[in-house]
Amino acid sequence: MSALPANIPPRCMSEEQACEYVGLTNQNTFQKAVDAGIFCPIPYRDRAGIRKKVFDRKVLDKALDELGGLTNDDDMAKRLLRGSINGRAQRGKAAVSNRAPQH
């Protein structure tokens, strides 16, 4: 049970909460976006010193604003373009390596 009033959302969220917050239903899709640098976790250690991955609500909002074209910052576009180019390059390498040798 949260000590926060219902009208105050938490600032830091777990990966599962962040996935739901940004509207994704698939945890793997969210993880791919994290790996691509679209959604960035912040470093955090709990009281026992255990490293955890948490997501700041405001950072998620900023990333969604960038994705939606609501800001002039084109860093997100560059990351997405780099990710799509890298993805195509990897798929192309796999397609070439899966082909039968030509004689």
- 41 closest CA partner among 26, 27, 59, 25: 59
Q: Could you tell me the pLDDT band of residue 99, with boundaries at 50, 70 and 90?
A: very low
- pTM exceeds 0.85: no
Residue with tokens 């959604």, as numbered in its chain: 39
pLDDT digits (tens, 9 = 90+) for 9-60: 788 999 999 999 999 989 999 999 999 989 999 888 888 888 888 999 999 9
Residue type, 84: S
